[in-house]
Amino acid sequence: METKAQDALVRPSVLPSSHPSGDKRFKMLDAAMKRHQFQSDALLEVLHQAQELFGFLGDDVLIYVGRALKAPLARVYGVATFYNFFTLKPKGAHTCTVCLGTACYVKGASEILNGLREKYGVKPGETTGDGKLSVVVARCVGACGIAPAVAFDSEVTGKQTKARVLERLVPWMERT
Amino acid sequence: MNSEELQHIVERKQAERAGVRHRVCVCAAAGCQSLGAEAVLEATRKAVKQKGLAESVEVHGTGCLGLCHAGTMVQIESGPPGEEARVLYQKVDAANAEEIVLRHLEGHSDEEHAVAADAPFYAHQRRIVLEGSGRIDPEDIEHCIGAGAYQALHKALTELSPAEVVKEVTTSGLRGRGGAGYPTGLKWGTVSKASAQKKYVICNADEGDPGAFMDRSVLEGDPHRVLEGMAIAAFAVGADQGFIYVRGEYPLAIKRLRQAIKQAERAQLIGNRIFETAFNFRVDLRIGAGAFVCGEETALLQSVEGQRGQPRPRPPFPAQAGLWGEPTLINNVETFANVPTIVNKGGAWFQKIGTAKSTGTKVFALAGKINHTGLIEVPMGMSLRKIIYDIGGGIPGGKAFKAAQTGGPSGGCIPAQHLDLPVDYESLQTVGTIMGSGGLIVMDETSCMVDVARFFMEFCMEESCGKCIPCRAGTVQMHDILQKIVDGRAVESDLGKLEELAELLKSTSLCGLGQTAPNPVVSTLRYFRDEYRAHIEEKRCPAGVCQFGQGKEVAA
């Protein structure tokens, strides 16, 4: 039955020293887990690190982390899906984050989202078909003084409008 | 580090300071950074160096200077310490930085960019928590020590007993700045009396309220003040391990905290045998992962333990059984940031600021439909009118003030008839809202209060952790009704259902999130019931925000 197979996945007899794929990022993840002495308390820190390395938390990464920290896959998956920050799907090459905090909302952030939907056909949380652009919403990036705020990848910009965002997106997406 | 070494750094930094004729502080908080503060700092450094003024002019980044909408802000301090003159410039960018700064150094102030020293935005403020913002370089511990950092910790460890520290904090009347306003001294007393081998101190920096950025600014502008406050708290309650739980959405605050902890460890201001006493204290950072509920203290504990952030039933309270079952003191960033000043100047001094029951100052993040958006710190008890019209500069475009929202998704709104209300914990409660963590969002006549209530309910619905049913299912039901109202599909009986659900959530939810989720609805129903009625009966949005089936009734 499936339970047995899962059990084998979650509780291996030997701790994996690194991933069979030979992917170096797993070695870096190992180092991060070692820093926390493979304590399952450090699950959030380890998932943060994993997402930074891989860009998203795929099944293999979650299984790998669960094994190393001796945490049931149910708990790893539970934590990974509980927090908004973790994503289980790969993101596009670029991410446009529209802040939907109260200050941004009353200053018209939803107009910006409408503009993105009209032009690229993506709703918050989605990625364009060509994998170039992901649109996400943030609960509040704390840039309320310069609302509405929009982040192009990690660069936060303030006082945005629909027109300004759409204008900026084109050259920005060309960049690699 | 011992007492002499601390004193030595202070004297050395003060001597250095005395040798400098001008000090140029460029705001390096997240707001100004996204308006190009990095380039301004770069350009200023280059200009000063080229003119050969590097010896007599110090250039560094600093914490939030307040007027976020007019960034990048630059403050220039001239003259000997103690009698320095300060001039503030707004809207500085990489192109005009060189000219503004160099002209100032020659004695000409740029009228176009200078902010008058007596500008109401600054004149009515009183800075305790933000004291260092604009004066210190948060990335340089020696600079902070030169400006007085860690003196309070030194005093606590060498001159006071833990019980005396708790007493000072109790005398000060300081109350939790996270929102609920629980007396800090009482909390410290409970933890200090709990008998356990191990105790913890946690700094709640999971500033989740949308529209609030006070804690972010404090962490970015003066991280050592928070560390010092935590260390004093740990000494007072008998803890030796601290955690700072900070939002993942604040990369700059995380970076500055990491740096500050590392520097403090290296200087042995954190670690073993601090100031050669028997007191040990370690601090670790925990990065949140975007869950609003983790601002609730028991959910935060779960998250620090590497679990899903679902609250635990209380009692037992964290002060008795918190992190890993041990007594744990949890305070907000701003609460800890008040502590060094209280220890330095005494609880009695602090107690005189503000009102009788709400002492001290409060930091507010002004945002929304207001001219001067930014960060302010005012004594408790100042009237809302003064905050919005004098400090905030009123409403842009000559529009009419409609309401101010405080307390985020757990709070409520204050309508125009209560503009003269003093802003303190009790007064805000009487009008149906809470102090909250300090987000103050101003709405004008073009904001629809029903839509705002719907916005907050959607927020709570998505952020509900799902552990208890009243919150998990109740927020969905309330949101559905509010959505119906703003879509013009609601019927007369919906208002009654909404009120019934609000009461249910309030009285039966497990934690603060669910218990307070109905507040924005209850509060808007109390003051703006006619707006709800217009939506339901006339299918009309008085503010012209909501779009009904046949397009807008009122042109925006």
User: B396-452, pLDDT tens digit by residue?
Assistant: 999 999 999 999 999 999 999 999 999 999 999 999 999 989 999 999 999 999 999
| Contacting residues of A for B33, CB less than 8 Å apart | 156
Which segment of A40-44, A120-124, B107-111, B211-215 scores lowest on mean pLDDT? B107-111
Residues A146 and A77 in one domain: no
Q: How far is A101 from chain B (nearest CA, A)?
A: 4
Is A89 inside any structural domain? no
B221 in Cβ contact with B63 (< 8 Å): yes
Sequence-ordered list of residues with C-beta below 8 angstroms from that of B457, at least 6 positions apart, any chain: B475, B478, B479, B482, B517, B520, B521
DSSP per-residue codes, B37-53: HHHHHHHHHHHHHHTT-
CATH 3.40.50.2000 for domain B18-118, yes or no, is no
Instruction: Verify whether the Cβ–Cβ distance B368 to A154 is below 8 Å.
Output: no
For residue A102 the two structure tokens come to 């109260």
Could you tell me whether strands B22-27 and B57-62 are parallel, antiparallel, or unpaired per DSSP bridges?
Answer: parallel
Residue B26 CA to its chain's centroid (Å): 21
Tell me which long-range contacts B424-432 makes (C-beta under 8 A, separation of at least 24). Answer: B424/B354, B424/B355, B424/B357, B424/B358, B424/B380, B424/B381, B425/B175, B425/B181, B425/B357, B425/B358, B426/B357, B426/B358, B432/B519, B432/B522, B432/B523, B432/B526
CA distances from B360 to B139, B381, B382 (A): 27, 9, 11
**pLDDT, averaged across chain A:** 87
Q: Does A56 touch chain B (CB under 8 A)?
A: no
Residues 205-244 of B with CB under 8 A from A: 207-213, 216
The greatest distance separating any two alpha carbons of chain A, rounded to the nearest whole angstrom, comes to 58
Shared-domain flag, residues A54 and A76: yes
* Residue B75: other Cβ atoms inside 10 A: 19
B residues 64-93 lying closer than 8 A (beta carbon) to A: 68-69, 71
- pLDDT confidence of residue B71: 81
Give the integer Cα–Cα distance in Å for B254 and B260: 10
Per-residue pLDDT band for A176 (boundaries 50, 70, 90) equals low
Classify strands B74-78 and B22-27 as parallel, antiparallel or unpaired.
antiparallel
CB distance from B440 to chain A under 8 Å?
Answer: no
A109 and A168 both lie in a single domain: yes
Among the ranges given (B77-91, B252-266, B501-515), the one the predictor scored with the smallest mean pLDDT: B77-91
Q: Are residues A67 and A106 in the same domain?
A: no
pLDDT tens digits along B478-496: 999 999 999 999 999 999 9
A154 vs chain B: nearest CA distance in angstroms?
Answer: 9
Find chain B residues with C-beta within 8 A of A142's C-beta. 30, 207, 212-213, 216, 247, 249-250
The tokens for B292 are: 């609003």
Which domain range does residue A105 map to?
94-174
Tell me if B294 sits within 8 A of B303, measured CB to CB: yes
Instruction: List, by residue range, all CATH 3.40.30.10 domains of chain B.
Output: 18-118
Q: Which residue of B has its CA nearest to A82?
A: B308
Give the residue from A24, A54, A82 where a domain finishes: A82
A66 in the same domain as A8: yes
Are the beta carbons of A144 and B292 separated by less than 8 Å?
Answer: no
Res A13: pLDDT: 42
Task: Return d(Cα A49, Cα B170) in angstroms, integer.
Answer: 41
Domain with CATH 3.40.50.11540 in chain B: 149-351
Share of chain A above pLDDT 70, in %: 89
pLDDT confidence tier of residue B86, bands split at 50, 70 and 90: confident
Contacts of A159 in chain B (CB under 8 A): 69
- Which residues on A lie below 8 Å from B373 (Cβ)? 103, 144-147
How far is residue B434's CA from residue B438's CA, in Å, rounded to a whole number?
A: 10
Q: Give contacts of B375 with chain A, Cβ < 8 Å.
A: 145
Closest Cβ opposite residue A48 in set B287, B304, B408: B287
Portion 136-195 of B in contact with A at CB < 8 A? none
Question: What is the average per-residue pLDDT within A131-139?
Answer: 90
pLDDT of residue A93 exceeding 60, the answer is yes
- The CA-atom distances, in angstroms, between B493 and each of B506, B520, B528, B534, B540 are 20, 20, 17, 14, 18
The confidence score (pLDDT) of residue B550 equals: 47
On whether both A98 and A77 belong to a single domain, the answer is no
Residue A12, pLDDT above cutoff 70: no
Pick one of 3.20.20.70, 3.40.1210.10, 1.10.10.10, 3.10.20.600 as the CATH number of B361-444.
Answer: 3.10.20.600
Angstrom distance (rounded) from CA B31 to CA A159: 11
Specify the domain boundaries for CATH 3.10.20.600 within chain B: 361-444
The torsion defined by the Cα of B292, B294, B297 and B303, in degrees rounded to 10, comes to 180
**Where exactly does CATH 1.20.1440.230 map onto chain B?**
449-537
- The reply to whether residue B306 touches residue A84, judged by beta carbons under 8 angstroms, is no
Pair A113, A67 in one domain: no
Which positions in chain A touch B453 (Cβ < 8 Å)?
none
Q: A149 — contact with chain B (CB < 8 Å)?
A: yes
How many domains in chain A?
2
Average pLDDT, chain B: 93
- Answer whether A107 sits within 8 Å of B291, measured CB to CB: no
What CATH number should be reported for the domain whose range is B449-537? 1.20.1440.230
Residue A7 lies in a domain: yes
Q: Does A143 touch chain B (CB under 8 A)?
A: yes
DSSP state of B422: B
CB atoms within 10 A of CB A36: 16
Please give the radius of gyration of chain A, using alpha carbons only, rounded to the nearest integer: 19
For residue A140, tell me if it sits in a domain: yes
Split at pLDDT 50, 70, 90, the class of A17 is: low
CATH code (residue A162): 3.40.30.10
Those of residues 24-43 in A touching chain B at CB distance below 8 A are 39-43
Candidates A54, B299, B289, A91; CA nearest to A63 is A54
Query: Of B209, B212, B369, which has the smallest distance from its Cβ to A106's Cβ?
Result: B369
Could you tell me which residues come within 8 angstroms of residue A5 by beta carbon, excluding any fewer than 6 positions away?
none
B194-208 pLDDT per residue, tens: 999 999 999 999 998
Residues 472-531, chain B: which have Cβ within 8 Å of A?
A: none
Q: ipTM of this predicted complex?
A: 0.88
Co-location of A129 and A77 in the same domain: no
- By Cβ distance, the residue of A139, A158, A159 closest to B210 is A139
For B149-351, CATH gives 3.40.50.11540
Based on the domain organization, do A101 and A145 belong to the same domain? yes
The residue in chain B having the minimum alpha-carbon distance to the alpha carbon of residue A140 is B210
Contact list in A for residue B250 (CB cut-off 8 A) is: 142
Give the pLDDT confidence score for residue B80 in this predicted structure. 79
Instruction: Report percent pLDDT > 90 for chain B.
Output: 84
The pLDDT tens digits for B94-117 are: 999 999 999 998 888 888 899 877
Any domain includes A51 = yes
In this predicted structure, the answer to whether residue B521 has a pLDDT above a threshold of 80 is yes
E strands, B162-227, are: 200-205
Nearest C-alpha in A relative to B33: A156
Query: How close does chain B come to A98, measured CA to CA in Å?
Result: 13
Same domain, A64 and A115: no
